[in-house]
Amino acid sequence: MTDTSTYKLRIENCVNTIIEVHKFLGSQKINPEIIDQFRRLKDVVEVLNIGKVTEEDIEKIELATNSLLNELKVLFECREVGKIYPDAKH
């Protein structure tokens, strides 16, 4: 697998994770500004030129995705928001 295809896969993994959270949060009572930020992120990623992406860029995207998930973790732990995948087994 080339660097370009690996980078694309890694970016798509982050974006798909965010989109899944976005879909779930869209059905909850969440601040509309947060939902709007998810939509803008999706639009930006769609026009991304993968040929100009570096390993450092990917690491920043993965770090940002993990940071977002850690912030959202508080909502889920407080049970203010339901589960994204009911009865999911890991």
Q: Which amino acid is at 58?
A: I
CB 75 within 8 A of CB 31: no
Residue 87 neighbours by CB under 8 Å, 6+ apart: none
- For the chain, where are the alpha helices, taking DSSP H only? 3-26, 32-46, 55-77
The predicted structure's pLDDT at residue 52: 87
Write down the domain spans for the chain: 3-77
Q: What is the rounded average pLDDT of the residues 31-53?
A: 78
Report the greatest alpha carbon distance in the chain.
42
Burial class of residue 8 (count of CB atoms within 10 Å of its CB; 0-12, 13-18, 19+): middle
87 vs 60, residue with greater confidence: 60
In the chain, what percentage of residues exceed pLDDT 70? 79
Q: Residue 79: which pLDDT band, with cuts at 50, 70 and 90?
A: low
The predicted structure's pLDDT at residue 81: 58
Q: pLDDT tens digit string along 48-74? A: 788 888 999 999 989 998 998 888 887
Q: Residue 11: which pLDDT band, with cuts at 50, 70 and 90?
A: confident
